[in-house]
Structures are given as C-alpha cells and as structure tokens.
Chains A and B, each alone.
Chain A
Amino acid sequence: DQQVKQNSPSLSVQEGRISILNCDYTNSMFDYFLWYKKYPAEGPTFLISISSIKDKNEDGRFTVFLNKSAKHLSLHIVPSQPGDSAVYFCAASEGSGGGADGLTFGKGTHLIIQP
C-alpha cells in the first residue's frame, strides 16, 4: 500500500509559466513533508520542506502548500525555467523530521519545461 502518491508520472509546462506538482498521502501520522529534485545520473537533492503545523512555505521560486484535511500537498514553481526539468519526489516522515531513516517517498513526477 503506497502511503505517498504522486499520480502524475510526467508534467510538461511552458517556460515562464507556473509548474504545479501534486502529492497525496494516506498516513495521518505524517508530520513533515519534503520535496526532492533529481537530475539524471545524480542523487536526489533537497529542495524545500514543510512541517504539518504550517500550510505554506516559500523559498524563492518554490512554494509548498499543505492541506492536512485533504492529505494533499503541492509544489509550485514560478516562473518555470529550463533548469527545472527534472524528476521531483515528494517525501513524508512521521516524527523524525526530514531524517533519512524515516522517509516515505512517492514515485516521482518528471517535469519537462518546454522553451
């Protein structure tokens, strides 16, 4: 049973527009959520996170929104740039912050930014 779901395997967005990547979870005990970005032949790199006590966290062009009642989070990238083309993983943890021993990952969404 997948506890973290990214239902869109891929997403194509025009350069300059907003990219919205979605993530749903089923475990109500998750209290910390992260987004990772992965380029081919590289490991995932941490992008942005949010605690369950917040509903929004912003870092430059990246904003994560959390809707606890819907068990849904989304990552917004504005404006989208060609370098944003990558696979984005949603991850969640229960009581361990963003620590590597407690993360449950989604399958990823491949974001393609079209020129």
Chain B
Amino acid sequence: SAVISQKPSRDICQRGTSLTIQCQVDSQVTMMFWYRQQPGQSLTLIATANQGSEATYESGFVIDKFPISRPNLTFSTLTVSNLSPEDSSIYLCSVDGGVAFFGQGTRLTVV
C-alpha cells in the first residue's frame, strides 16, 4: 500500500481567497485523484491528475475553480479558488494500489 501525505491537515480561510493542498506519495504513480467530502455527504471524485498532461475533471467540477498541478510522479496539488462557505469540506488525495488508498485529508473551513 502507498503512503500518502497531505498538507495542510486543516485550514480556515477567508471568503474570496484560495487554498492550495499538497499531496506527496512515497512511490511513483501514474494517476493521482482528488476527492471532496462535503459535510454529511459521500466522497465525490473531483478530478484525475496525470503527470505531464492536463487534469481530467468530473461533471460539476471545473479547472478555473479547482486547478490541479502534477509536476512529477509522486506529487500533486489541488487549489480551491475564490473560496465560499460552500467549499467547506474535506479534500482527499488518492492513488490506486489495486484498491483506492487515501491521504489523511484536508479539512477546509471557509469563513
């Protein structure tokens, strides 16, 4: 199983600002995935990040709001832009290892 480290673990941000979440994996992986869990809701896939190409976004998620970088095979960032209270969620990084493995998550609160 992969070891996935996410930073920050939590943050409180002002409306209109942005937060960048970092995800580091202890081994090289082709694809990395970003999920969101809104309060009381299920985990929802935001996008898939491949190294060297633009991320692929799921329906309802757009690049302007959730820009993603994937500079190498062990690292990715997710930025949540122009924050509003509705963005208050847990954001999770994930990789494939037969089944999905997750980082510890980033709890974002927008005030």
Tell me the bound Cα distance from A15 to B102 in angstroms: 28
Known A97-B98, A99-B100: A43·B92 in contact at CB below 8 Å:
yes
Q: Which of B's residues lie within 8 Å of A, judged by CB?
A: 1, 4, 6, 9, 31, 33, 40-45, 48, 92, 94-96, 98-105, 107
Tally A-B pairs: CB < 8 A: 64
Can you sample 9 A-B contacts with CB below 8 Å?
A41-B107, A42-B105, A43-B92, A43-B103, A91-B100, A97-B98, A98-B99, A105-B44, A108-B42
Known A42-B105, A43-B103, A44-B102: A101·B33 in contact at CB below 8 Å:
yes
Known A43-B104, A100-B33, A100-B94: A49·B99 in contact at CB below 8 Å:
yes
A89 within 8 A of B: yes
Query: When the two chains form their complex, are residues B104 and A103 in contact, meaning their CB atoms are under 8 A apart?
Result: no
Chain A residues whose CB sits within 8 angstroms of the CB of B94 once the complex forms: 100
Query: When the two chains form their complex, are residues B102 and A101 in contact, meaning their CB atoms are under 8 A apart?
Result: no
A45 within 8 A of B: yes
Residue of A nearest to B90 (CB): A43
Partner of B100, one of A41, A100, A106, A108: A100
Partner of B104, one of A41, A89, A100: A41
Chain B interface mostly: strand
Partner of B9, one of A41, A44, A91: A41
Chain B residues whose CB sits within 8 angstroms of the CB of A45 once the complex forms: 102
Query: When the two chains form their complex, are residues A98 and B100 in contact, meaning their CB atoms are under 8 A apart?
Result: yes
Within 8 A of B (CB), among A56-70: none
B26–chain A nearest beta-carbon distance, Å: 14
Tell me the bound Cα distance from A4 to B44 in angstroms: 12
Tell me the bound Cα distance from A46 to B104 in angstroms: 13
Name the residue in A4, A103, A108 with the highest tally of chain B Cβ atoms < 10 Å from its Cβ. Answer: A103
Chain A residues whose CB sits within 8 angstroms of the CB of B103 once the complex forms: 43
